[in-house]
Amino acid sequence: MDRRTICVKGVGRVSRAPDMVEVDMKISASNESYEKAVLINGQQLSMLQEAVEEAGLPAKDLKTSLFSVNPSYHYNDDTREKELTGYECSQRASISFPFRKELFSAVLSSLSSSMAEPVITLSFHVADQESLRDELLAAAVRDAAHKAQVLTKAAGQALGNMISINYSWDEVQFSSPGMNYMGAREEIGSASMDVHPENVEGEESVTITWELKEEI
């Protein structure tokens, strides 16, 4: 006689207030000379490092994630050809730190007043992402068990032994939507620092199979 089974998918969801903030900064410099464009951009990075230190964070925590130098062209209507006008050097750097109001305000104020004039994007996340994942999986298993109990009871059956748990491992990033600060530096520096980011949310699922037995 074939073994009777029930297979149920459980979904776990969690929502938690972020405790970390990441500040992403883009700096760009243009010049007719390749070397000068790179030099000016390097000076801008030094200004960002100084601004970070003034706010109370180590300059070494500022990490560069992108560096590029691209030629700039102008289209000549007379010759109908592109003419090289110079170069644009860009860098993207970021720094992460605990989301505390005083520290956050100091960092944003210092960066916004920097002569480097960075374009700033903020994102928020949770430091202990492993515990969040564990919480998600536990919630998914509880959800599957609850659904299985409801289904079997309604069908006049009972759950037997658990046969298998199927789980597809995917890398989940727990972060809230980013915030862009692209206005004038004076506007950013004078803006209210009372920021309330959205909660970090995540979702995971598992599929569990149980044996079915007659309800006693």
- pLDDT single digits (tens) 138-190: 999 999 999 999 999 999 899 999 999 998 876 555 556 655 554 445 455 54
Length of the chain: 216
Residue 59 has a CB neighbour count (10 Å cut-off) of 15
Share of the chain above pLDDT 70, in %: 86
Predicted pLDDT at 195: 77
> Is the pLDDT at 204 greater than 60, yes or no?
yes
pTM: 0.74
Q: Per CATH, the architecture of 1-19+126-188+197-216 is what?
A: 2-Layer Sandwich (3.30)
The answer to whether the beta carbons of residues 189 and 109 sit under 8 Å apart is yes
pLDDT at res. 184:
42
Could you give the CA distance from residue 120 to residue 188 in angstroms, rounded to a whole number? 10
Split at pLDDT 50, 70, 90, the class of 114 is: very high
CB of 23 closer than 8 Å to CB of 94: yes
Give the pLDDT confidence score for residue 173 in this predicted structure.
54
Mean pLDDT across the stretch 38-52?
A: 96
Question: What is the per-residue pLDDT for 78?
Answer: 81
Q: Which residues contact 83 (CB under 8 A, 6 or more apart)?
A: 73, 74, 75, 76
Q: How many angstroms separate the CA atoms of 10 and 130, rounded?
A: 20
DSSP E strands in 108-199: the ranges are 119-125, 157-166, 175-181
Query: Which secondary structure element, helix H or strand E, spans residue 109, and what is its range?
Result: helix 101-112
Q: How far is Cα 88 from Cα 38, in angstroms, rounded to an integer?
A: 8
Measured CA to CA in angstroms, residue 11 lies from 139, 170, 212 at distances of 7, 14, 21
Alpha-carbon distances, residue 143 vs 41, 148, 156 (angstroms): 53, 9, 20
Distance CA 162, CA 23 (A): 46
Residue 11: its pLDDT value, please? 94
Instruction: Say yes or no: domain 20-125 is CATH 3.30.930.10.
Output: no
pLDDT, residue 196, reads 82
Token pair for 178: 């980013």
**208/7 Cα distance (integer angstroms):** 6
Question: Do 1-19+126-188+197-216 and 20-125 come out as alike in CATH topology?
Answer: no
Domain residue ranges in the chain: 1-19+126-188+197-216, 20-125
Q: Compute the distance between CA of residue 29 and CA of residue 51 in angstroms, rounded to an integer.
A: 18
User: Percentage of the chain surpassing pLDDT 90?
Assistant: 67
